[in-house]
């Protein structure tokens, strides 16, 4: 009788070990896949693009700077000074890409401009801000001088 009980216990323990082993394998595979997909996402986000910049601009910038980037967003009438006109090639070409990056990242106050422009450096990563800078250059049809 005791041998049968021992065998039954051993069989039960072996069954539990096998099922725990399979659970650990599944967890490992799941974590491996998540880690690899996350790396691919991060790598994709590190490359600035005008397309990403345009989407980011539409989401964060158009309320003040307008859909066209002309400084006539729906919040513009409530702001003093008025938001910058990003389509003004003469105005925008005087700003370096670093100036634009710093203004987006640190906000207007950080570059001696309107304190009402919020700092986006804690919301957007460097690649996203670089994408925005590229989009600003597209809006003004200009480059830094």
Q: Which helix (H) or strand (E) holds 43?
A: helix 2-45
What is the percentage of the chain residues whose pLDDT exceeds 70?
A: 66
Residue positions counted in the chain: 145
The one-character DSSP state at 76 is G
Q: How many beta carbons lie within 10 A of that of residue 95, not counting itself?
A: 21
* pLDDT tens string 66-83: 999 999 999 999 999 999
Q: Is the pLDDT confidence value at 136 over 90?
A: yes
Angle between helix 97-106 and helix 126-140 axes, rounded to 10 deg: 120
HSE-up of residue 129 (Cα within 13 Å, Cβ side)? 19
* pLDDT tens string 5-50: 666 666 666 565 556 555 656 565 555 555 555 444 444 455 566 6
Q: Could you give the CA distance from residue 86 to residue 23 in angstroms, rounded to a whole number?
A: 56
Structure tokens at 103: 């203004």
């Amino acid at each position: 009788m005791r041998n049968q009980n021992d065998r039954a216990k051993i069989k039960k323990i072996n069954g539990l070990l096998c099922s725990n082993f399979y659970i650990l394998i599944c967890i490992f595979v799941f974590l491996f896949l998540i880690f690899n997909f996350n790396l691919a996402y991060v790598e994709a986000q590190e490359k600035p693009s005008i397309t990403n910049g345009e989407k980011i601009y539409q989401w964060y910038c158009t309320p003040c700077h307008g859909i066209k980037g002309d400084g006539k967003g729906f919040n513009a009438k409530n702001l003093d000074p008025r938001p910058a006109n990003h389509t003004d090639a003469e105005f925008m070409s005087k700003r370096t890409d670093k100036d634009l990056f710093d203004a987006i990242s640190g906000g207007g106050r950080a570059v001696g401009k309107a304190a009402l422009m919020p700092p986006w450096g804690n919301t957007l990563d460097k690649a996203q801000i670089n994408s925005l800078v590229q989009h600003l250059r597209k809006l003004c049809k200009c480059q830094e001088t």
